[in-house]
Every structure is written in structure tokens, then in C-alpha cells.
A and B are shown apart, each in its own frame.
Chain A
Amino acid sequence: MESLLQSLLGDNLLTLVLYCALPLVFLLLYALLAILGEVKISAFMQDRLGPMRTGPWGIIQPLADVLKLLQKEDVTPARADKFLFNLAPYLSFMAAYAAFAVIPFSSQYVGADLNLGAFYFLAIGSLNVAAIMMAGWASHNKYSLYGAMRSVAQIVSYEVPAAMMLVIVVLFVGSLNLQDIITAQSGPFWNWMVFGGPKADVQLASGEVLGASWTNLVFLPLFLGAFLMYYITALAETNRTPFDIPEAESELVSGYHTEYSGMKFAMFFMSEYANMFLVSAVTAILFFGGWNSPFGVYLGDIWDAQWLVGLEQFGWLAFKGLFFVFVIIWLRWTLPRLRVDQLMYMCWKVLIPFSFGIALIVGFLVVVLK
């Protein structure tokens, strides 16, 4: 992908900027789709039609929403800390977008092919906490402050089990590079981590060979558990139902972004949706083969067209990611919300002991079986 851009535009700064902006294009399109998806899915679950007036079947409703946000007055509360108040939404979006750098959209496109990809993903995800804290504190509003405090407590706690789930997969593959983790699951769908990982030796993206055989089936229950736990922590990290306590509408109005309007609110909104896709994509990468086709073959290979393979791989990742986004939306319109102490209980007394337990067993089995 990079070489394609270079051949078209030459090796200059523009190429680099364009290369980095590609996920943004995807993200904006995805956000429009997700907004429409959210309103339509919720409508169908609730015996309604949802928006029907804006365009056929309401499909340009997201554009109307964006337009509305753009022309709204940008209010800064009189007693707010103006600098932090204005900085927070952009920092929040930046944190979400920066994590996209290591997401491999296909075998040919990844923003930065870091060997520490998984680690970077966890680290940059924590930056969002700073933005939320900033927003809650700078708003000079008690509801915002409560929302921010809850959010920080929640995200910081849930990072521990989330990290452990990543560690489990990393232990198995032996690499922190997300491309390595995906190539380890190449081939048909039974090679995905959720089904116990590869069943035959595979060559990783970095060139090393990961030894594997059908005995890997013993990992199936462990990885299945790890997947479920990762998905639960992912819900908590993105502040979605049943863990949407920081912005609990019925208690805290809308939590840390109560005082935000217009584009700044849109930035928080974008950041939430970006995070939703991010965790869904990472779920797909860790446990569902990332950009791997579930059938193990690509049309591009059959027709001998490499550019098509890249596109297909991107399609599979987007499909898997969007499926998990759909499940997040589905859960949101089905479940009630937990209370803040129940949330902490679930994290520290249920998820963390179990995640450490699984990590121990996986580590032990990896040593024994190799």
C-alpha cells in the first residue's frame, strides 16, 4: 500500500500524510454507518421504524445529524477551565485514532507495523482516561465530575483483565506484533484462536515458524473463555451498556460530556464510536483471525490479483469488526445498567482472578506442548 502511494505521488510528506489518513476515511464512513445502524437497530428492536423522512428509508439521517452538530452553538461554560475544556474532546479523539495506527487492516496495510503493537494498543488506550478526566474536571459541573471519576475508576480497573487477555494470546503466539498474531491464525476458520489456534505449523509475518498441531484443541475452552472475558472488558472500556455508568443518562444526565455541545460533543461521540470499532476489531484480530478469510482462500489468489487480496482482507476485518459493533448495539438496547460498585466487584473479584487463572494455564500448556 505504501509503495503504491509512493509510486503515484513520489516519496514525500504528502504520501506519508495520506497514508496515515486512510483509517480516518474509513472511520468517518464507519461512524455514519454506525449512527444509522444504532438508530435503525434500536428502532427494530423496539417495534418502531426509526428515521424515515431523511432520504429513502432514512439513510441520510446521519448526515443530517452531523450537519446539526456543525451549526450548533459552541458553548463554553463561564466558569469552566477554558484551555482544558477545549483540549479534552480533541485529546479523546486523538487517543482513539492513534490506536488505529497498529490495527492491521490487511496483510498489506498497517499504519505502523510495530513489534510492540499489542502493547502500544493498551498504552495508547489509557490516554483516553486523561481526556475524560480533563473534560469532567474542566467543565465545572458536579455531574461531569462524577461521570469522569466513575469513568476513570472503570477504565483503569478494566484495563487489567483486558491486558491479561492480550497476554494470553501473546503467550501462545510468542509475539506482540498484531500481524504475527493474525498470520498465526491463517487458513480456514478452525485455525482461529477462539477455536484453539492453528492446527498445523504456520509461518508468521516476521518469518518465524510457529509449531502447532491438533493437540491445540485443548486451548479451545480457554480461548473461548478468554474471548468472552475480553469482550466484556471491551464493553466496559468503551463505556457501553451494561457498563455505561460514566454517562448513565438516568443518573448523571450524560456524565463527563454534559456541558459539551456542537463539534466538541461530536468529537466525544466520534471517539466513542471509534473506540467501539477499535475494541471490536481487536476482538476479531485476537480471537477471530483478523483479516483472515474464514474459508482460507481469497478470490484475489484464484484470479492472481494481489490488490484484490488486500481489499478482501480489509473486507473480512471490517465485517468481523462491524459484527461485534452490532453485538454491542444489540446489548445496549437489551440490558439494564449495572451499579458502580457491582461493576467494580465484577472486575476485581470475578474477571481478574479468572483472567490470571487462564493466563497461568495457557502459559503452562504452551511450555508443556512445545
Chain B
Amino acid sequence: MSETLEALQEDIAAGRLQTDELVLNMGPQHPSTHGVLRLELVLDGEAVVKVIPHLGYLHRCFEKHAEAMTYPQVIPYTDRMDYLAAMNNNHGYALAVERLMGIEVPERVEYIRIIMAELQRIASHLVAIGTFGMDIGAFTPFLYCFRDREYILDIFERTCGARLLYNYMWVGGLSHDVHDGFEKDVAEFIRKFRPTIKEVNDLLNYNKIFIERTANVGVLPPDVAISYGCSGPMLRGSGVDFDLRRDDPYSIYDRFDWEVCVGKGDAGTVGDCWDRHMVRVWEMEQSCNIIEQALESFPEGDITEAIPKRIRPPKGEIYTRVENPRGELGYYVISDGSQNPFRVKARGPSFVNLSVIDEISRGHLIADIVAILGSVDIVLGEVDR
């Protein structure tokens, strides 16, 4: 918080300055609420007294719909939750049903899933980084990020025909094997992509103005982050060393050599907007490492052999969680033995991460709210489901 603001607040507290609060509706149509989120801001001049998020403008009853669908029919719905990370959403749901049925998927499927999930993580982080820059007022890095995201979407399109909502990871396997030349395409992308990280660092992340705007803004202390259940870059940005890919290993992440990135407070305080942002930047490099290692030992094989003819899990329940680009995505699936799930509950990271916004926004200026919201990186499709 700035000195001026503190002095101002002192004056107000001492009754030397008479002010009245102003309620400002930010959204649901607003350039920087990243979708149809409405933030009710209670303002004292430029300073924020309270932030009340209003949700539900994009609610599509995912969980109720899932009860009327067969198990494979739910997968396209999961695509539409976090639409920037549809691969990861598919992955989590497929894992849940597979564990419920006790299916072991072939090696090749595991490898393809990991590569796809990590490519999707890069694509998703590119959107987060680009739009965060745009929230701060830098327009150009946004287009550089989207240019590189396009290469990833092209790879996805060549493999499964879709660019955004893939329905790719099925229970027990995949919808298609990868296209010819997939390995070459991915390796080529990694080669092209690494310099972009440096470019974005030069242009945006270490820009003096950018650091001024994001360092020491929206500081989320580790204990608050844990008590609110934050996850993903939001949690790691606060310096908590926790990543489901390492700490609750699923798929074959334990075979690869990579690091969990945590915020260190290089520019300001640990847990500020800059830390959260930089965790995403560093994670993209780690994803590149994972993909490169996966490509080195990419096995041959049949991807369809474990796909069951009839998906009818035995009675039981399961909670499976995966590390989405935005944090912990959990699926709680209850089976009553029929071909429709009895209940599918999704635990969305964006929804949980958003709940902390009031806590970390108080006392900041309007411009900081935009920075904080951008650094939380929500996708409304998943907040509302």
C-alpha cells in the first residue's frame, strides 16, 4: 500500500476527512473481469473497502446434467468447465472413472496424456500471462503469447480435430492415436517456444512499470492461502511448495525429473501478484522439460486395448484430483452400479481461488483489483460450471 493512501486512511480514521462510500459494479460486462463475473466494489475514493464477487452468470448445471448421462457422455461436459485447460479436465475425470473400475491404461496412453496435459498447461498459462499483461496495460505481450498458443492448438487439432474442446481422453484410453509426425511437431514447438519465454520476460515480467504495478500488491500469506484452500500457482506463489503432480502422483509424473516452482518474493513480498505471475512463467519451462523427457522415451503400442466395451463401474465412490493449470481439480464420483453416475461433484480451483479475493483486495486501489483478479487467473466456465 502506498504512503499517500495510508496518510489518507489515517485522516479518515481520525475524522478529519468526511467521506462517503461508493458502490461500483464491475462486470458482468467489463473488459477485465475475464468473463461474466460481477464484482461489487465498495469504494472509498479510489481505495477499495470491500469486494463482493457475484457468480452464476455462466451456470450450466454440470453436476445435475452428469447424473442423466452415461459415464463417457460426461467427458464433453468436463471440457466446458475450464475451457482453457480442457485436456486436464478430461484427464481428471478419466482417471476417476478408471480408478473406480480398476482399469490400467497402456504405457503409450499415459505418455500421450502427459504430453497433452503439459502442452495444455503451457497454452493455459500463456493465456493467463498474456491477459494479465493486458490488465496491467501492456497489449503487445498478449499477442506474442497467443501467437505461441496457436502452435499448441494446431498440434491438438491435427491429433483430435478440435482446438478448444477436445473430448480426447476417454475412460481407459484416448479418442484417437496421435497423428503422424506428432513427436516432431511437439519437439519443434518446444524449440520455438523457449525463446518466447525470454521475450516475454524482457518485455513484460522484468519491466520496471510492470514490477511497480504487481510487486507488493494483493499479498496472500501462506497461512491464508492454505486456510482458504487455494491451490495451483496461487498457492505456490505464496511460497507453499505443493504440487499434486509430485505430492499425490498420478499418471506417470514420478518418472520425470522436474521442479516445483514457488514464489520467492524476488520483487517484493512473497505471495504478491508478481510472484503468482512468475510461478506461471517458470512452470511453462518445467512443462517443457517434462515434455522433452516424455518424448525421449515415447513408447509404441495400441491405445485402444484398455477401453472397456461397457462402462458400468461397480458400486462405490472415489475422489480423484489432478493438478490443473489453475490448481487442484477434483472429481468426486459416486457409482450405484448403473451406467449413469449417481453423482459427479467437481471441485474447481478457480472457484476456490476466487473466494480469497476480498481478503487480499482490501485497502488497495481500483487498479490493483484488476491486477489481483488477473493474477488469480479465473476461468468463469469453471467458477460457475
A333 and B133 alpha carbons, distance in the complex (Å): 12
- Whether A335 contacts B137 in the complex (CB less than 8 A), given A251-B370, A341-B2, A341-B5, comes out as yes
Q: Which residue of A lies closest to B2 (CB)?
A: A341
Q: Which residue of A lies closest to B133 (CB)?
A: A336
CB pair B212–A342 under 8 Å, yes or no, is yes
- Whether A47 contacts B136 in the complex (CB less than 8 A), given A335-B209, A338-B212, comes out as no
A334 in contact (CB, < 8 A)? yes
CB pair B140–A339 under 8 Å, yes or no, is no
CB pair B137–A250 under 8 Å, yes or no, is yes
A337 in contact (CB, < 8 A)? yes
CB pair A333–B140 under 8 Å, yes or no, is yes
A48 in contact (CB, < 8 A)? yes
CB pair A248–B2 under 8 Å, yes or no, is no
Nearest-neighbour CB distance to chain B for A228, whole angstroms, equals 16
A253 in contact (CB, < 8 A)? yes
CB pair A334–B140 under 8 Å, yes or no, is yes
Residues on B with C-beta less than 8 A from A248 are 137, 367
- Whether A45 contacts B135 in the complex (CB less than 8 A), given A251-B366, A335-B207, A336-B209, comes out as no
Contact of B204 among A46, A142, A336, A340 (CB under 8 A): A336
A241 in contact (CB, < 8 A)? yes
Nearest-neighbour CB distance to chain B for A239, whole angstroms, equals 12
A205 in contact (CB, < 8 A)? no
A244 in contact (CB, < 8 A)? yes
B31 in contact (CB, < 8 A)? yes
CB pair B368–A339 under 8 Å, yes or no, is yes
A136 in contact (CB, < 8 A)? no
Nearest-neighbour CB distance to chain A for B209, whole angstroms, equals 5
Instruction: Please encode chain A, from 315 to 339, with 1 for each CB lying within 8 Å of some chain B CB and 0 for all others.
Output: 0000000000000000001111111
A146 and B30 alpha carbons, distance in the complex (Å): 15
**CB interface residues, A 214-251, toward B, < 8 Å:** 241-242, 244-245, 248-251
- Whether A340 contacts B365 in the complex (CB less than 8 A), given A248-B137, A251-B370, comes out as yes
CB pair B365–A47 under 8 Å, yes or no, is no
Nearest-neighbour CB distance to chain A for B202, whole angstroms, equals 11
A45 and B4 alpha carbons, distance in the complex (Å): 37
A251 and B365 alpha carbons, distance in the complex (Å): 11
CB pair B2–A337 under 8 Å, yes or no, is no
Instruction: Please encode chain B, from 360 to 373, with 1 for each CB lying within 8 Å of some chain A CB and 0 for all others.
Output: 00000111111000
Contact of A341 among B4, B22, B140, B144 (CB under 8 A): B4
Q: Which residue of A lies closest to B5 (CB)?
A: A341
A344 in contact (CB, < 8 A)? yes
Residues on B with C-beta less than 8 A from A341 are 2, 4-5, 46, 365
A9 and B133 alpha carbons, distance in the complex (Å): 57
Residues on B with C-beta less than 8 A from A334 are 138, 140, 203
**CB interface residues, A 233-280, toward B, < 8 Å:** 241-242, 244-245, 248-253
Residues on B with C-beta less than 8 A from A242 are 137, 209
Residues on A with C-beta less than 8 A from B182 are none
Nearest-neighbour CB distance to chain B for A184, whole angstroms, equals 36
Nearest-neighbour CB distance to chain A for B314, whole angstroms, equals 51
Nearest-neighbour CB distance to chain B for A211, whole angstroms, equals 42
**CB interface residues, B 337-385, toward A, < 8 Å:** 365-370
Contact of A249 among B31, B366, B368 (CB under 8 A): B31
Contact of A244 among B22, B31, B137, B210 (CB under 8 A): B137
Contact of B138 among A143, A245, A251, A335 (CB under 8 A): A335
Greatest chain B CB density within 10 A among A45, A242, A335, A338 is at: A335
CB pair A250–B212 under 8 Å, yes or no, is no
Nearest-neighbour CB distance to chain A for B195, whole angstroms, equals 14
CB pair B136–A337 under 8 Å, yes or no, is yes
Contact of B207 among A244, A249, A336, A345 (CB under 8 A): A336
**CB interface residues, B 127-153, toward A, < 8 Å:** 133-140, 143-144, 147
Nearest-neighbour CB distance to chain A for B214, whole angstroms, equals 9
B12 in contact (CB, < 8 A)? no
Q: Which residue of A lies closest to B33 (CB)?
A: A250
CB pair A333–B139 under 8 Å, yes or no, is yes
CB pair A337–B137 under 8 Å, yes or no, is yes
CB pair A142–B24 under 8 Å, yes or no, is yes
A339 and B147 alpha carbons, distance in the complex (Å): 28
Q: Which residue of B lies closest to A43 (CB)?
A: B143
**What are 27 of the A-B contact pairs (CB < 8 Å)?**
A46-B139, A46-B140, A46-B143, A146-B46, A146-B366, A245-B367, A249-B31, A250-B134, A250-B135, A250-B136, A251-B367, A253-B30, A333-B140, A334-B138, A335-B137, A336-B136, A336-B137, A336-B207, A336-B209, A337-B137, A337-B138, A337-B209, A338-B213, A339-B367, A339-B368, A341-B5, A345-B4
Known: A248-B137, A334-B203, A345-B2. 12 other contacts (CB 8 A): A42-B140, A250-B135, A251-B370, A333-B139, A334-B138, A334-B140, A336-B133, A336-B138, A336-B207, A336-B210, A337-B137, A338-B209
When A and B form their complex, which 9 residue pairs have the shortest distance between CB atoms, in order from nearest? A337-B137, A336-B138, A250-B32, A46-B143, A336-B136, A336-B137, A341-B2, A339-B367, A250-B135
